[in-house]
Amino acid sequence: MLTDLPLAPTKPIDAGIREFCKTCGICAEHCPTQAISHEGPRYDSPYWDCVSGYEGWHLDYHKCINCTICEAVCPFFTMSNNSWVHNLVKSTVATTPVF
């Protein structure tokens, strides 16, 4: 979203997602085409058609077959098993002032 309103910047809320992903790696282990890197987050993308400049796990879109296995096995984002992490994040967001 772009705006010219004078808004005070706010710090992002750290829910621990990045640290969780650094130690997990289940999505990369279960990827049938190995499109998800096992190396962890990095700023430079090893792939010419991926956006660089942010620290993250870069996906090799040429290998990805959109099977969504990575989403299904992710303990953080899996909604079907009512993951404990969702409850933790919901309670943290509910009790942490944003502004």
Taking only the tens of pLDDT, the chain with its 99 residues reads: 678 888 888 777 777 777 788 888 899 999 999 998 888 777 766 666 666 666 777 788 889 999 999 988 888 766 555 666 666 777 777 677 664
User: DSSP letters of 31-93?
Assistant: -TT--B-SS--BSS-SSTTS--SS-BPPB-TTT-----HHHHH-TTT-TTTT-HHHHHHHHHH
Task: Tell me the fold of 18-92.
Answer: Alpha-Beta Plaits (3.30.70)
Q: Residue 53: its pLDDT value, please?
A: 66
State pTM to two decimals: 0.59
